[in-house]
Structure 1
Amino acid sequence: MEIFYFLVFGGLAAVVAGLELSKTSRDRINTSSAFNAFKNNYLLVYSLMMAGDWLQGPYVYYLYSQYGFGKGEIGQLFIAGFGSSMLFGTIVGSLADKQGRRRACITYCITYILSCITKHSSEYKVLMLGRVLGGIATSLLFSAFESWLVAEHFKRGFDQQWLSITFSKAIFLGNGLIAIMSGLFGNLLVDNLGLGPVAPFDAAACFLAIGMTIILSSWTENYGDASENKDLLTQFKGAAVAIASDEKIALLGAIQSLFEGSMYTFVFLWTPALSPNGEDIPHGFIFATFMLASMLGSSIASRLLAHSSPKVESYMQIVFVISAASLLLPVITSFLIVPTGEKGGSISFSGSIQLLGFCTFEACVGIFWPSIMKMRSQYIPEEARSTIMNFFRIPLNIFVCVVLYNVDAFPIIVMFGMCSIFLCVASLLQRRLLVIAESQKPRSQDWTAMKEMEAEPLNA
């Protein structure tokens, strides 16, 4: 079956390379040298931050199982991480808006490094503490860095359309190339060098420390709400009012929660799904294949975002439908293919089909990230950006915690079926967002159109 892995990986690599090499001038946006320097600095930092995150991904479940914990106990550890993100996420998001996004990014590095250190212990309480720290870090990773980028982008007077370039490049590198290299590097550390499943966490801490050094030396501070008199409760109320008063923001939050909830459930389930009878699967290599598929998706997204048509609100409907179909494959194969029941061995025929479906889902993830970033930059008000983004994560984390808490109560195919249903609902909500966006043009689009009109004589 090693030939099968290489065929999937090689095929995806060929498609990604073909897409990148076939880009024409129509697929690119003319920018300034100042913007390129700013973008490259952010991409370097973001890539290091994501390397610190991706190195851990394939080995969290595996490390806990090596310490002797069962699926139920591992599920509780995962719940601690998502619960921590839910409880503390909105607080750290509000602090980022008020105390500074740069400071929040540094806090992410410190918190995640401490989380990595706890992986050296096999004590359940210590690992639980590490999951709590990791949950806090996750909230900062998915809010503080994007908030800093958007605020700094406009503070320096760059065109709003250029944001899509940074978003797509960040996902292509951070969620694609870096993730692939992290998966292969992790596989090298654990399998080839025999350093054990804790080695990727040590490597992650090193990358995070390097990224923090760059932030300290080259990033400037920016804030959301400049008011010094607003306490956290007032900021929470302001964010809640913004969500309740604007249906576009509420829909965006629901769509994000449904998709990311399904994605994080998939992260927990893909290992037992591909090896239900203890099959010997190369975790790092499969993870790298998933990330290559995500890289393909981000490459497709960069082309879509470079053009005004189709709108991001339009094509994301199709992406969610394809995602739903991809995660429905384990349910379909369970009915059509009789399991062998043999313990060990290589990946089964059913697992091979599921692997192809999972790669398709990861390609959809690659399209989702820059697209949702683009929509957030259009619809979420700047003064409470981090707070609102972490508000979005509350239902997401509740959903994932409920799923993981009941991981032993439901078969894997039931949970995959549930994720598929949620993705179908996300597609319907995306349709509603498109209708509203077409009937009520966002102010950010008006601003962009005005800037494009001003720039036309210069580009003529």
Structure 2
Amino acid sequence: MDNYYYPICFGGLVVLCLGLLFAQPTRRQELEQQGIADEDEHPETWWYKAYALAVAADWLQGPYVVALYRDEYSLQPGVVMSLYLTDLIATTVSAYFVGALSDKHGRKLYCMVYCVLYTLSCFLTIVPVTPLLFLGRIFGGISSSILFSVFDSWMVTNFHKKDLAKEACDLSRTYASTAIVNSLVAILTGLLGESLVWATGTKKTPFLVSVALLWVCFQTIWSHWGENFGASSSLASTPAATRPSLWSIIRTPSVLALAFASTMFDSSMNLFALYWGPALSSLHSLATEVPYSTVYSSFMVVSLGAALVFNILMNKRVTTEAQILVAALSVASFCFLKLSSAKTETGAFWLFCLLQGCIGMFVPCVGYLKATLIDDDVRATVYSIMRIPFNILAIISLVTIRDNNNVGGVFATCSLMLIASFTTTLAATLREIL
């Protein structure tokens, strides 16, 4: 494999994505088919704008947290590990409370709280005082809980509240478009982050730019989002005996199957994120280093392309979200199985790309299925609870495999995890639960 292989692959993937982008279905086409006049502004415009700013702040600083601790602060590896674990523990512990409080006091409010807490986390991260760094990780962990549960909950409830289906919007395509926005933001912030670090000579700069993005996000949410609540509002006039129990919803076989699949898939992809670099490096035959930034950019482009394909499939309704979910789990399991004994760098690279494609398909599938299975009244609470097992597994994985150099064994374990989730999800699908 020569030095030009990865840049050529990246260029080819970008061209493919551009083709898929031009083939995307639009809401205007749907309106024209229904004979409805188009509006000047898409009803979900402010959702996409605020969400893009929120994830941009997260993507921008993410790659530089550990590097800042290690390279500029010269912290010992044990301290860096403790800081990382503190973030995960804070995410896990705060998950239930964040969901329940946002359902009670308002999802819009807690999305703004995300902006405030993450801003504090950014400021504390650029101060090289160890106790403040730990406090910054706690705020960062709580912010992660909000980002991965409350934002999604607000969007779905807002979709139902405003009955956007009557305006030629489709929740499945909304999730696909959200995944597309996320992938585009990841690519652009990756380039921006590298440019900022290169121009300023310090890894603190992305955190300061994140603060600016969070401020704009706060203003956008404050000005353009409506508030929506959970049980405290919508069930206030409903007799207690007829209200759906939180734990009865969680124990529903469909929700359990989806939660298990999400936990196994996300945990496997967390390990993929930790080990793809060492795996490619071990197979690299050239004297030069693997161009990690180009490879990572290729992964992001593949994820974007998969989300674009998902959008087209859902528009044509040639398959269902549940079927795509099962397919993504089975393909990901196959990829990990092959990677456990990969012999060539080229083969490993394309298997990693296929895994990234599975992520691009899996995320909107799970989002849509959760939206259809879980009631708006307890949406944020259930979403938060569903992420707790993943957070616990992430902590366990980080502690148990941090010194594990057996990449093949790790990938084989991921394959087994996905086989288990595939079996569970397939059984649920065959019983018409999902």
Q: Give me the TM-score of the superposition, normalised by structure 2.
A: 0.87
1:281 positional shift: 4.9
| Distance in structure 2 (CA, Å) of the matches to 1:114 and 1:282 | 33
1:197 corresponds in structure 2 to 203
Match of 1:354 among 348, 359, 370: 348
1:156 corresponds in structure 2 to 162
2:362 corresponds in structure 1 to 368
Query: Are the aligned partners of 1:273 and 1:412 in contact in 2 as well (CA < 8 Å)?
Result: no
- 1:304-342 residue CA offsets vs partner (Å, 9 max, x unmatched): 222333111112212112222333454213xx4xxxxxx
2:377 corresponds in structure 1 to 383
Query: Are the aligned partners of 1:58 and 1:283 in contact in 2 as well (CA < 8 Å)?
Result: no
**After alignment, is 303-312 or 101-110 more displaced?**
303-312
Summarize the Cα distance change of 1:44–1:254 in structure 2 as closer, same or farther, 3 Å threshold. same
| Distance in structure 2 (CA, Å) of the matches to 1:394 and 1:238 | 19
1:415 positional shift: 2.6
Aligned residues: 416
Amino acid paired to 1:137 = S
Secondary structure of 2:431's counterpart equals: helix
Q: How does 1:5-16 map to 2 (within 5 A)?
A: 5-16=6-17
| Distance in structure 1 (CA, Å) of the matches to 2:120 and 2:53 | 17
Show structure 2 runs of 5+ residues with no match.
none
1:251 corresponds in structure 2 to 257
1:71 positional shift: 5.4
2:20 corresponds in structure 1 to 19
| Distance in structure 2 (CA, Å) of the matches to 1:123 and 1:324 | 43
Query: Are the aligned partners of 1:164 and 1:305 in contact in 2 as well (CA < 8 Å)?
Result: yes
Summarize the Cα distance change of 1:24–1:48 in structure 2 as closer, same or farther, 3 Å threshold. closer
1:274 positional shift: 4.2
Summarize the Cα distance change of 1:186–1:274 in structure 2 as closer, same or farther, 3 Å threshold. farther
Secondary structure of 2:316's counterpart equals: coil
Q: How does 1:21-420 map to 2 (within 5 A)?
A: 21-23=22-24, 29-30=30-31, 33=38, 37-66=42-71, 67-69=73-75, 73-159=79-165, 162-174=170-182, 176-191=183-198, 193-227=199-233, 238-244=245-251, 246-275=252-281, 280-333=289-342, 336=343, 350=345, 353-413=347-407, 414-420=409-415
| Distance in structure 1 (CA, Å) of the matches to 2:29 and 2:366 | 20
Query: Are the aligned partners of 2:187 and 2:300 in contact in 1 as well (CA < 8 Å)?
Result: yes
Query: Are the aligned partners of 2:230 and 2:379 in contact in 1 as well (CA < 8 Å)?
Result: yes
Summarize the Cα distance change of 1:97–1:8 in structure 2 as closer, same or farther, 3 Å threshold. same
Query: Are the aligned partners of 2:43 and 2:164 in contact in 1 as well (CA < 8 Å)?
Result: no
Amino acid paired to 2:20 = L
| Distance in structure 1 (CA, Å) of the matches to 2:40 and 2:99 | 26
1:242 positional shift: 1.3
1:447 corresponds in structure 2 to none
| Distance in structure 2 (CA, Å) of the matches to 1:22 and 1:74 | 45
- 1:320-377 residue CA offsets vs partner (Å, 9 max, x unmatched): 12222333454213xx4xxxxxxxxxxxx64x54333322212211111111111011
Summarize the Cα distance change of 1:27–1:363 in structure 2 as closer, same or farther, 3 Å threshold. farther
Query: Are the aligned partners of 1:29 and 1:162 in contact in 2 as well (CA < 8 Å)?
Result: no
Summarize the Cα distance change of 1:226–1:84 in structure 2 as closer, same or farther, 3 Å threshold. same
Match of 1:424 among 412, 419, 423: 419
- 1:362-419 residue CA offsets vs partner (Å, 9 max, x unmatched): 2211111111111011101111000001111111011010000123343251333222
1:24 positional shift: 6.3
1:59 positional shift: 2.4
Query: Are the aligned partners of 2:6 and 2:291 in contact in 1 as well (CA < 8 Å)?
Result: no
Query: Are the aligned partners of 2:234 and 2:377 in contact in 1 as well (CA < 8 Å)?
Result: no
| Distance in structure 2 (CA, Å) of the matches to 1:93 and 1:243 | 14
1:227 positional shift: 4.9
Query: Are the aligned partners of 1:180 and 1:287 in contact in 2 as well (CA < 8 Å)?
Result: no
Identity of aligned residues (%): 27
Amino acid paired to 1:299 = L
| Distance in structure 2 (CA, Å) of the matches to 1:329 and 1:60 | 32
1:119 positional shift: 2.3
- 1:260-308 residue CA offsets vs partner (Å, 9 max, x unmatched): 1222233333444445699745554443322111101111111222233
1:35 positional shift: 10
> Please, what is the CA RMSD of the aligned residues?
2.9
| Distance in structure 2 (CA, Å) of the matches to 1:421 and 1:70 | 34
Summarize the Cα distance change of 1:43–1:263 in structure 2 as closer, same or farther, 3 Å threshold. same
Summarize the Cα distance change of 1:137–1:34 in structure 2 as closer, same or farther, 3 Å threshold. farther
1:435 corresponds in structure 2 to 430
1:8 positional shift: 2.0
Secondary structure of 1:226's counterpart equals: helix
Summarize the Cα distance change of 1:136–1:435 in structure 2 as closer, same or farther, 3 Å threshold. same
- 1:395-445 residue CA offsets vs partner (Å, 9 max, x unmatched): 1011010000123343251333222221222211221221232xx6x8xxx
| Distance in structure 2 (CA, Å) of the matches to 1:412 and 1:72 | 21
| Distance in structure 2 (CA, Å) of the matches to 1:142 and 1:312 | 20
| Distance in structure 1 (CA, Å) of the matches to 2:139 and 2:272 | 22
Amino acid paired to 1:107 = V
Summarize the Cα distance change of 1:57–1:238 in structure 2 as closer, same or farther, 3 Å threshold. same
